[in-house]
Amino acid sequence: MALSKDETIWLENYKLLMDLIGYESKNYWDRYNVFLALNSGLLAALVLLGSRSPIMKLPLVGISFFGMIQGIAWFLVVARASAYLRHWIKTAREIEENKLQQLTIFKKEEEFRSRLNGYEKAPIMKTALVIPVLASALWFILTLWVLIFMN
Angle at 15 between CA 9 and CA 16, to 5 degrees: 90
What is the tens place of the pLDDT at every residue in 24-50? 999 999 999 999 999 999 999 999 988
Q: What pLDDT sits at residue 151?
A: 65
Residue 125 has pLDDT above 90, yes or no: no
Please provide the DSSP assignment of 13-75 as one string: HHHHHHHHHHHHHHHHHHHHHHHHHHHHHHHHHHHHHHTSSS--HHHHHHHHHHHHHHHHHHH
Please tell me the pTM assigned to this model. 0.83
Question: Any long-range contacts for 53-58 (C-beta under 8 Å, 24+ apart)?
Answer: 55/150, 55/151, 57/146, 57/150, 57/151
Q: What pLDDT sits at residue 25?
A: 94
Residue 119 has pLDDT above 80, yes or no: no
